[in-house]
Amino acid sequence: MKNLQCIVLVFGFILSVSTMASALRIAGPHSERVHQTTIKASLDVESHRVTAEMNLKWKNTTNDTLHEIPFHLYLNAFSSTDTVFMRESGGGQLRGDKREGDDKENFGYVIVTKLSNAQGKDLLANWQMDNSVATLSLSEPLESGQTIEFNMSFTSQLPKVFARSGHNGDTFNFVAQWFPKPSVYINGKWVNHRYHAHSEFFADFGSYDVTLTVPTDYVVGATGFLADKQQEGDLTRHHYVAEDVHDFVWTADKNFAEANQQWQGINIRLLYQEPLDEKSIQNQFDAAIASFEWFEKYVGAYPYSTMTLVQPPEDASGAGGMEYPTLVTTITDLDYSSFQHSAALVTIHEIGHNYWQGILASNEFEESWMDEGINSYTEGRILAEAMKRKNVAQFAHLSIELPMVHHASTARTPTFDPVNTNSWSFINSRAYGTNSYSKPATILNTVERVWGVEKVDLLLTAYYQQWAFKHPNTKNFLDVAKTIDVEMAQFLDDAINTTKTIDFTVVSLQSEKKHQGGGYRLLLEQQSEVTPEYTKPSKSDLYSNTVTLAYQGELTPPSIEVLLTFEDGSEETHIWQLDANKQWKTLRFESEVKLVEAIVDPRFTLLLDKDLSNNIKKERSESNQAWRWVVSLLQSMHHLINAFLPL
């Protein structure tokens, strides 16, 4: 399978020799290309308003006859305080960034001002707008295989950014979800959900040909490949082409500085805020290259020729940490750090989205875990394997690996909803976050540790090969898993589609000298006048050990290790074959040396365990290890008091 992937990659390179100046690194088409979208847009940098004309050719690639085409008008989510997005987000906030106030610059919208068909017939009367969605009723049914063409004029007013799209009130403009975007018709229905506080996006693949007119002193970054750039007086036209992508985003800021690096036919372009030192810039390129290397080795080829990394300014951090096809935003604090790797991690995370959200393109409204969750798993592997940074944070002697961070988040979130839940239907924001990011990552980390990393690699590769550019859903993912390991697939199914949980514990541990039988020896033929023989009870040199193990929940692996440690330091591993009908087991055995400790799952394979702290039990006299960290911790606090108030 890997060989086939290499052949495809090499073949792609050969095909794309002539495409050194092309949007695609590996010649397409890769997708159905449902639409061809041509936009000519101008940005008024004073009002942060985009005026545009769009030509849309949309092909009915479904088997059904369609009578309407719904559109997303995402920017209208910011039009007033009454939108679904604003209400669900408590008046306008996302990831800690809030709407700054009630001035009109904090609001935005997109409105279609003209709409006609290819023959120029006005269709505005057929356009029914309902805030962040709109429906275009077709005057004639659109048969399967037919293509329809529209011309639109629209205006997009950018809000002051707090949630992905917008401006910073100064020179920075991030123009995302800015144009009327057709919904996706899949599995016999339109997916035209509103812009919710807890959801991202879903769209069809197509081709974009976009000309952006902005002041000449502004640096522009956009989805796809810059085909042409022409200056006309104070304005410059930037002509971008993108193929086999499902979105088009762009940014313009006159404060952007730029750095570029090539990697195997991909031009990685960093648009950053000055000052930024060389080490931090290189850290970004290293993170991007490590991501591409890892994905090409374990998942599949990156088909595009460009990747633009955008660092928003500090006062526009709401635009940061977001993914779009071939363009991602990083964080405002891009400084390289040797003890925590958040700058690299965000870049790895967003580039990962170019696979799970960009190429696989699952429905993020309804199955957010398929993008965010799988990506949260792969980012940990990229950091550890490709960047050789095993710990996401390292403070002197304290090291924290990403899988354990995801475990902590998963274990601490009550399990009220399955992972596979509509993004707006979770009980609260925390549940959305955990079930979209940390829990799926923990599920995959558990699968990796229980069934082996090779099987996860096979799963990811096969999933990419079968479903790239085809909008897979959870069932498709699980079907691929079944072809690799049925037991593993069942575990994944339970973990993703149900609220089953698991918590292992060592209930008790006893180890004491074995009793030698003693007392009166009564015989059947005992004569009444003879006193029975008496031997004094004693203890032998052997130890009699009893360890009781138990679990609560149903999310069990086939078996689990139990490590038994004896007083002399020797160890024995016992494999507990789990039985759904009996959730506990008592181990009884004898040993020459005293048993002092038992650990269920000593290699921490089952990271879905709700509480790892009850997995270890020590024989009572041995349970005093807390001295080792309590005294240091208390002394540290005491020292700080003494240092700042030397009494």
Partner 1 sequence: MSTVKLLWQYKWVALITLVFEWLILAPVLLMMLRFGNKEVVVNLAQTPIGSSNFFGIFIDAFSTSPGLVYAVIAFAITVPTLILFKFALAVGTMASMHEGKWSFSQWLSLSGKHFLRAIGLLLRWLIVPAILCGLAVLVFKLFDIESAVSKIITLAVCWFLSISWLFMSLNGVARNESWSLKNGAITLFKNLHQFLLIVLVFLALFVLAKLMNWQLFVNNSDINTTLLCGVFGAFAIALFMRIVVLYWQAAHVVVWRKHWKIN
Tell me which residues are annotated as active site: 350, 437
Provide the minimum distance between the beta carbon of 132 and partner 1 in the complex, in angstroms, as a whole number: 38
Which residue stretch of 308-316, 317-325, 583-591, 611-619 sits at the interface with partner 1 (rule: CB under 8 A)?
611-619
Residue 611 binds partner 1 (CB under 8 A)? yes
Provide the minimum distance between the beta carbon of 215 and partner 1 in the complex, in angstroms, as a whole number: 29
Q: Which is nearer to partner 1, 408 or 462 (CB)?
A: 408
Q: Residues 232-261: x/- map of binding to partner 1 (CB under 8 A)?
A: ------------------------------
Provide the minimum distance between the beta carbon of 410 and partner 1 in the complex, in angstroms, as a whole number: 11
CA dihedral 176, 310, 35, 291 (to 10 degrees): -130
Query: Helices 278-298 and 453-467 sit at what angle, rounded to 10 degrees?
Result: 80
Provide the minimum distance between the beta carbon of 386 and partner 1 in the complex, in angstroms, as a whole number: 19
Provide the minimum distance between the beta carbon of 551 and partner 1 in the complex, in angstroms, as a whole number: 15
Q: Is 619 annotated as a binding residue?
A: no
For residue 331, what are the CA distances in angstroms to 89, 279, 417, 438? 22, 16, 30, 20
Q: Residues 332-371: x/- map of binding to partner 1 (CB under 8 A)?
A: ----------------------------------------
Q: Which is nearer to partner 1, 384 or 478 (CB)?
A: 384
Q: Reduced to 3 states, what is the DSSP secondary structure of residue 120? A: coil
Q: Which is nearer to partner 1, 534 or 629 (CB)?
A: 629
CA–CA separation, 226 and 311 (whole Å) = 19
Find out whether 47 and 33 touch, Cβ atoms under 8 Å: no
CA–CA separation, 362 and 375 (whole Å) = 12
CA–CA separation, 614 and 625 (whole Å) = 15
Strands 206-215 and 35-44: parallel
Residue 433 binds partner 1 (CB under 8 A)? no
Residue 599 binds partner 1 (CB under 8 A)? yes
Q: Is 353 annotated as a binding residue?
A: yes
Concatenated DSSP letters of 482-521: HHH-HHHHHHHHHHHHS---EEEEEEEEEEEEEEEP-EEE
The CA R_g of the chain, rounded to the nearest whole Å, is 31
Residue type at position 571: E
Residue 594 binds partner 1 (CB under 8 A)? no
Q: 257 - beta bridge partners?
A: 272
Q: Reduced to 3 states, what is the DSSP secondary structure of residue 83? A: coil
Residue 568 binds partner 1 (CB under 8 A)? no
Which residue stretch of 185-193, 304-312, 548-556, 595-603 sits at the interface with partner 1 (rule: CB under 8 A)?
595-603
For residue 103, what are the CA distances in angstroms to 13, 86, 100, 169, 317? 52, 15, 8, 12, 19
Residue 524 binds partner 1 (CB under 8 A)? no
Which residue stretch of 160-168, 182-190, 460-468, 634-642 sits at the interface with partner 1 (rule: CB under 8 A)?
634-642
CA–CA separation, 407 and 365 (whole Å) = 24
Residue 384 binds partner 1 (CB under 8 A)? no
Sheet holding 66-72, edge to edge: 127-130, 133-142, 66-72, 181-182
Q: Give which of 553, 542, 535, 476 is closest to 515, Cα–Cα.
A: 542
What six digits make up the tokens of 392?
């996401």
Q: Is 372 annotated as a binding residue?
A: yes
Among 125, 396, 522, 524, binds partner 1 (CB under 8 A): 396
Among 111, 219, 408, 578, binds partner 1 (CB under 8 A): 408
Which residue stretch of 99-107, 337-345, 359-367, 399-407 sits at the interface with partner 1 (rule: CB under 8 A)?
399-407
Q: Give which of 313, 385, 309, 312 is closest to 350, Cα–Cα.
A: 309
Provide the minimum distance between the beta carbon of 584 and partner 1 in the complex, in angstroms, as a whole number: 19
Q: Which is nearer to partner 1, 190 or 604 (CB)?
A: 604
Provide the minimum distance between the beta carbon of 341 and partner 1 in the complex, in angstroms, as a whole number: 14
For residue 372, what are the CA distances in angstroms to 365, 393, 440? 12, 21, 8
Among 8, 259, 400, 462, binds partner 1 (CB under 8 A): 400
Provide the minimum distance between the beta carbon of 172 and partner 1 in the complex, in angstroms, as a whole number: 20
Q: Which is nearer to partner 1, 262 or 642 (CB)?
A: 642
Q: Which is nearer to partner 1, 30 or 407 (CB)?
A: 407
Provide the minimum distance between the beta carbon of 602 and partner 1 in the complex, in angstroms, as a whole number: 5
Residue 639 binds partner 1 (CB under 8 A)? yes
CA–CA separation, 498 and 563 (whole Å) = 30
Helix (H) or strand (E) holding 251: strand 250-253
Q: Give which of 304, 322, 317, 291 is closest to 387, Cα–Cα.
A: 291
Find out whether 520 and 505 touch, Cβ atoms under 8 Å: no
Residue 2 binds partner 1 (CB under 8 A)? no
Find out whether 155 and 101 touch, Cβ atoms under 8 Å: no
- Binding-site residue total for partner 1 (CB under 8 A)? 53
What number of other Cβ atoms are within 10 A of residue 613's Cβ? 8
Q: Which is nearer to partner 1, 528 or 636 (CB)?
A: 636
Residue 411 binds partner 1 (CB under 8 A)? yes
3-state SS of 137-166 is EEEEEECCCCEEEEEEEEEEECCECCECEE
Q: Give which of 399, 424, 521, 516 is closest to 84, Cα–Cα.
A: 424
Q: Which is nearer to partner 1, 7 or 633 (CB)?
A: 633
Provide the minimum distance between the beta carbon of 308 and partner 1 in the complex, in angstroms, as a whole number: 29
Among 81, 216, 399, 559, binds partner 1 (CB under 8 A): 399
Find out whether 218 and 252 touch, Cβ atoms under 8 Å: yes
Q: Which is nearer to partner 1, 524 or 645 (CB)?
A: 645
Q: Residues 612-631: x/- map of binding to partner 1 (CB under 8 A)?
A: xxxxxxx----xxxxxxxxx
CA–CA separation, 597 and 413 (whole Å) = 30
Among 137, 144, 230, 642, binds partner 1 (CB under 8 A): 642
Residue 575 binds partner 1 (CB under 8 A)? no
Q: Which is nearer to partner 1, 42 or 391 (CB)?
A: 391
Provide the minimum distance between the beta carbon of 637 and partner 1 in the complex, in angstroms, as a whole number: 7
Residue 597 binds partner 1 (CB under 8 A)? yes
Residue 398 binds partner 1 (CB under 8 A)? yes
Among 194, 407, 439, 449, binds partner 1 (CB under 8 A): 407
Find out whether 384 and 290 touch, Cβ atoms under 8 Å: no
Q: Which is nearer to partner 1, 131 or 501 (CB)?
A: 501
Which residues lie near partner 1 (CB under 8 A)? 391, 396-401, 403-404, 407-408, 411-412, 563, 565, 597, 599, 602-604, 610-618, 623-639, 641-647
Binding residues are 349, 353, 372
Binding residues for Zn(2+) are 349, 353, 372
